[in-house]
Amino acid sequence: MAKKRKKRKVQENQRYEIEVMDWEVYYHFGIAPKNLDMGAYWEISNLSLVGKIISPELKIAQKAKIRLSSKPEMEDHWTTKPGILSAKAIGFMEVPRGEDILQMHCSIPPRMSNNIHVAVASGKIKYISVFGEKLKWRRGLVFDITLSAELEEE
């Protein structure tokens, strides 16, 4: 007797539009802990953008915090023979239990990191458009992100 297989539901995707209200920067540089085996230095740099979710309307969150982290290995796509040939996502999103803020964590190539910091500090980044999975169990993947002065037209 053959077993019946359940059909897998295809994950739905969605665009999240966010109006930037505030931002913050976190930076750390120092000697790497010996137990991490990652070389001599350890550097962490994050730019966080906080904003109001314009669409879609979510019952579990009205605000979003988008953390952009510079990842040097992402510069690989500019080389003639990229070492990274496929990827599932550039980040993830979640609404942690007990919280009402949609947290998005996105990796970006460091090449544009300084330009993004300057644009945010000067008030030129007013809207963020994030394309990713529709939240399922308060979680999803992020596929792309657009930072702009104008709201994206659909």
Q: DSSP 3-state assignment of 74?
A: helix
Q: Kindly report the number of other CB atoms within 10 A of residue 47's CB atom.
A: 22
Q: Mind listing the pLDDT tens digit of every residue in the chain (154 residues)?
A: 667 777 777 789 999 999 999 999 998 889 988 887 778 888 888 999 999 999 999 999 999 999 999 887 767 666 667 666 677 999 999 999 999 999 999 999 888 888 999 999 999 999 999 999 999 999 999 999 999 999 877 6
Task: Say if 47 falls within a structural domain.
Answer: yes
Q: Distance (Å, rounded) from C-alpha 108 to C-alpha 128?
A: 14
- Please tell me the pTM assigned to this model: 0.84
In a domain, 6, yes or no: no
Could you tell me if residue 1 is inside a domain? no
| Non-local CB neighbours of 70 within 8 Å, separated by 6+ positions | 45, 107, 108, 109, 110, 113
Domain annotation covers residue 154:
no
Residues contacting 127, CB < 8 A, separation 6+: 17, 18, 19, 20, 54, 147, 148, 149, 150, 151, 152
Report if residue 153 sits inside a domain: no
| Count, residues in the chain | 154
For the chain, how are helix, strand and coil distributed in percent, rounded to 5?
15, 45, 40
State which residues form the domain around 137. Answer: 13-76+88-148
Domain count of the fold of the chain: 1
